[in-house]
A and B are shown apart, each in its own frame.
Chain A
Amino acid sequence: MEKTNAVPGDYVELSLVNRDYQGVFLESPENEKGIVLLKLDSGYNIGFVKKEVMEVKVLKKAEEKIEELEIKKNSEKPNVAMIITGGTIAARLNPSKGGVDWLDNPASLFKFYPEIFKLVNVSKVEVPFMKASEDMDFKDWQKIARVAVKLLNDTNVKGIIITHGTDFLHYTSAALSFFLKDLNKPVVLTYSQRSIDRASSDANLNLQCSALAAISDIAEVMLVGHASENDDFCFAMPGAKVRKLHTSRRDAFKVVNGKPFAKIFTDKVINVSEYNQRKKGKIKADTSFEEKVALVKIYPGQNPEILDYYLKKKYKGIVLEMSGLGHAPGKRARNSWISKLKEVQKRGLIVCATSQCINGRVDPLVYSNGRELLETGIIYLEDMLSETALVKLGWILGHKEWAKNRDAVKAKMLENIVGEISDRLEN
Chain B
Amino acid sequence: MTSYRLGSGGAINRGQSLGFTFDGRSYKGFDGDTLASALLANDQMLMARSFKYHRPRGVVTAGSAEPNALMTIGSGARAEPNARATVVELYNGLAAASQNRWPSLKHDFGAVNDLFSPFFGAGFYYKTFMWPGVLWEKLYEPLIRRAAGLGKVTMLADPDRYEKSWAHCDLLVIGAGPTGLMAALAAGRAGARVILADEGFRFGGSLLSESAAVDGRPAAEFAADIVAELASLPNITLMPRTTVFGWYDDMVFGAVERVQKHVASPSPDLPMERLWRIVAKQAILATGAEERPLVFGGNDKPGVMTAGAARTYLNRYGVAVGGKVAVFTNGGSGYRTAADLLAQGVDVTAIIDARPQSADPVPESVRVIRSGSVIATRGRHRIEGLIVERSGFEEVIGCDAMAMSGGWSPIVHLMCQRGAKPVWSDEKQAFLAPDVGGAFAAAGSAAGELSLGACLKDGSAKAHAALDALGRLVGTLETPEVEGEYDPSFAPLWYVPGARDKAFVDFQNDVHVGDLGLAQREGFRHIEHTKRYTTAGMATDQGKLGNVNTAGIVAGMRGVSPAEIGTTTFRPFYTPVSFGALAGTARAEHAAPVRTSPLHGWARKNGATFVESGLWYRSAWFPREGEKTWRESVDREVLNVRAHAGLCDVSTLGKIEIFGSGAAEFLDRIYSNSFLKLPVGRARYGLMLREDGIVFDDGTVSRLSENRYVMTTTTAFAAEVLAHLEFSAQTFWPELDVRFVSSTDQWAQMSLAGPKARIIMSRVVQDDISDAAFPFLAAREVMLRDGLKARLFRISFSGELAYELAVPAGYGEAVADAIMNAGREDGICAYGVEALNVLRVEKGHVTLSELDGRTTADDVGLGRMMAMQKPDFIGKRLSTRFGLTAADRLQLVGLKPIEADKEIKAGAHLLKEGAKPSTANDQGFVSSACFSPTLGHFIALGMLKSGRERIGERVMVWDGLRGSEVLAQVCPPVFVDPENSKLHL
Bound pair (A, B) = no
